[in-house]
Structure 1
Amino acid sequence: MRALFTLTPSEAKRLIAKAVVKLPQVQEAYQNGRLAVTNGTTNAFIVEELLGVKLKKENYTAGVITDGRPCVSELKQMIKPYLFEHGKRVDTTIGEFIKQLTARDVVIKGANAVDSEGNAGILVGSREAGTIGAVWSLLTAVGATLIVPVGLEKLVPYIPTDVGIDHFTAAEGGISLGMPAGLFPVVGAQVITEIEAMSILGGVEAVLVAAGGTGGSEGSTTFMIEGVEEKVTKMVQLIKEIKGEPPVGRSRRACSSCDKACAYLQRN
């Protein structure tokens, strides 16, 4: 049996979040080890699914693409990342938290790009490469798991390896209409898109068949799923429950209080 449906970006984030919290390694890390759910809009959905709470998801960001340009989030409204140890949220920084990671622990970090090979790309706005720069080497060294939830609205042909922050600064002869950012390539993480999510949640095979839309459906993705009738029917029912998920709101730092180099305001 087959079915066809379209997911808006927010609906896709909700679907992916439901799948991520069901992963055995996520539950094990949350209950018996350490789990970091770093800032990001998809990760805000994951926190909601994990804890049964509601977040103002636009405030669970550090950097954001909004108003048609890359920007930095409003610091005064920013929600600190949810960091868990043995099922309880701990009040510490991500830098201190990751020093305690072991091979049984999990870090969840969203992405800005994903390719068909399962490689991810994360925009970074500082020379220290943000959260991913802080955790990548330590994760690799200790053998902890990095899970990257990312919707296929962010599908790109490949993840380039030569996109650095300095390429877009006036000092180097570059231009950035918005906050300059580099792209941090991530290879070998466990990437969870809508396709993996539907396999986890319903045991169906999914194929991305179309993308885009208008009138509020910009960034949408259209999928065909296939499987035995019972599984397809259950998945369609879940999709119906997800339909209508409101879009993530807008939150960014006011240009008047931003110190980032930005050609949008002719600030070098």
Structure 2
Amino acid sequence: MTVTFALHPAASKYIIAKAVTQMPEVKNAFANGKIIIGAGTTNLQIAELLLGTTFEPKEEYIAGLISAQVPCITDPAVRKNWCIEKGKLINVDWLEFLDSFGPDDVFIKGANAVDPQGNVGILLANPFGGTIGRSIGIIKSRGIKFICPVGLEKLIPSCIEAEKNMGIYKTPIRIGMQIGFMTVTNATVMTEIESLNLLFGVDAVHVASGGVAGMEGAVLLAAECNSESQAEELLSLVKSANKISPLKVVKRKCSQCDNPCFYNKK
């Protein structure tokens, strides 16, 4: 039995976050080991679901964003990652915490792009590479589990080709921040497809994208269900997830920018 349904971006983020918290490696690291969750919109929901709490203001837990017509950032002075040890949120320097990680610990970082080959792309507003630039060497060299939640609204043809065209110092004229791009390979990618498979055991296919009137950025999926009850359980989650309102986050003020873009050119 094939069922079809659309998910707007906020709904997708919730379903992906819900699935990530149910991954065996995440449950094990949460109970017995260590987890770092990088700042981000989907990651915010992962942290809230794992820890059973809410975090406010949201801007403190989100780094880069595309909002108010531009790619930009939140206030870097208050930005935070989550460091979790044996189920408890701890207040430590995240890089020092990462230095204590072993192969059963988990690093969770969202992405700005994903391609059909399973590569993910992360935008870089910091000339030193930001969170991913400072952590990727440790993650790769030690074989730390790297989980990347990312919605199919961010599907692009090739992260490797995108990376070739990007660079902070390549774009003196632009709208929004100067940004670079890093392709990351061999992450455990969690899109809506992997998430629905984990939560319901269904195989889903991405068949279309886009929408209007609140469904901008939506993805249309077709999922193969084994029974009517399985289909109804899946669609009940879809209905409730689609009632979630888009996250409202305030970007950094243009007056605080030390490298103004074309957006404010008179």
Deviation readout 1:176-207 (Å, 9 max, x if unpaired) = 21110011101000000000000000001111
Q: CA deviation at 1:128?
A: 1.1
Name which of 220, 226, 234 aligns with 2:218. Answer: 220
How big is the shift at 1:261? 4.8
Q: Is the alpha carbon distance of 1:129 and 1:223 closer, same or farther for their aligned partners in structure 2, counting shifts above 3 Å?
A: same
Q: Does 1:114 align with 2:117?
A: no
Q: CA deviation at 1:243?
A: 2.3
| Correspondence for 1:192 | 190
Residue pair 2:10, 2:242 contacting (<8 A) in 1 also:
no
Instruction: Give the whole-Å Cα distance in 2 for the aligned partners of 1:75 and 1:137.
Output: 23
* Distance in 2 separating the partners of 1:36 and 1:168: 32
Deviates more, 1:187-196 or 1:243-252: 243-252
Give the superposition deviation at 1:209: 1.2
| 1:56-135 equivalent positions in 2, closer than 5 A | 56=56, 57-75=58-76, 78-135=78-135
Identical aligned pairs, as a percentage? 39
Aligned with 2:54: secondary structure?
coil
Amino acid across the alignment from 1:145: K
User: Which segments of 5 or more consecutive residues in structure 1 lack a partner in the other structure?
Assistant: 170-174
| 1:118 alignment partner, SS class | coil
Structure 1: how far apart are the matches of 2:251 and 2:178? Answer: 15
Task: Give the Å deviation of 1:63.
Answer: 1.6
Q: How does 1:1-268 map to 2 (within 5 A)?
A: 1-56=1-56, 57-75=58-76, 78-159=78-159, 160=161, 161-162=163-164, 163-169=166-172, 175-229=173-227, 230-266=229-265
Is residue 20–residue 149 contact of structure 1 (8 Å, CA) maintained in 2?
Answer: yes
What CA distance in whole angstroms lies between the structure 1 residues aligned with 2:126 and 2:195? 31
Give the counterpart letter for 2:204 in structure 1. Answer: A
Deviation at 1:133, TM superposition (A): 0.5
Q: How far is 1:60 from its partner?
A: 1.7
Q: Describe the shift of the 1:22–1:92 C-alpha distance in structure 2 as closer, same or farther (beyond 3 A).
A: same
For 2:187, the aligned partner's letter is: A
Inter-partner Cα distance in structure 2 for 1:79 and 1:127: 17
Structure 2 residue matching 1:48: 3-state secondary structure: helix
Matches of 1:250 and 1:177 in 2, distance apart?
19
Bigger CA drift: 60-69 or 106-115? 60-69
- Does the CA contact (< 8 Å) of 2:59 and 2:79 recur in 1? no
Q: Which runs of 5+ in 2 are unaligned?
A: none
Find the aligned partners of 2:10 and 2:217 in 1 and give their Cα distance. Answer: 10
In structure 2, what is the Cα distance between the partners aligned to 1:134 and 1:94?
Answer: 11
- In the superposition, the TM-score normalised over structure 2's length comes to 0.93
User: Are the aligned partners of 1:59 and 1:251 in contact in 2 as well (CA < 8 Å)?
Assistant: no
What secondary structure, in the 3-state scheme, does the structure 1 residue paired with 2:100 have? Answer: coil
Quick one: which amino acid aligns to residue 70 of structure 2? R
Distance 1:93 1:24, change over 3 A: same
Q: Is the 8 A contact 1:41 1:58 kept in 2?
A: no
Query: Residue type of the partner of 1:240?
Result: K
In the TM superposition, residue 55 of structure 1 has moved relative to its aligned partner by 3.0
Report the AA paired with residue 148 of structure 2: V
Residues 254 and 260 in structure 2, CA contact (< 8 A), matched pair in contact too: no
Q: Over residues 90-142 of structure 1, what are the superposed CA-to-partner deviations in whole Å (9 max), with x where a residue is unaligned?
A: 11222222111111110000000000111000000122111001111100111
Give 1:156's aligned amino acid: I
CA distance in 2, matches of 1:112, 1:248: 16
Q: Counterparts of 1:141 and 1:266 in 2: how far apart (Å)?
A: 45
Counterpart of 2:237 in 1: which secondary structure? helix
Distance 1:16 1:91 in 2: 26
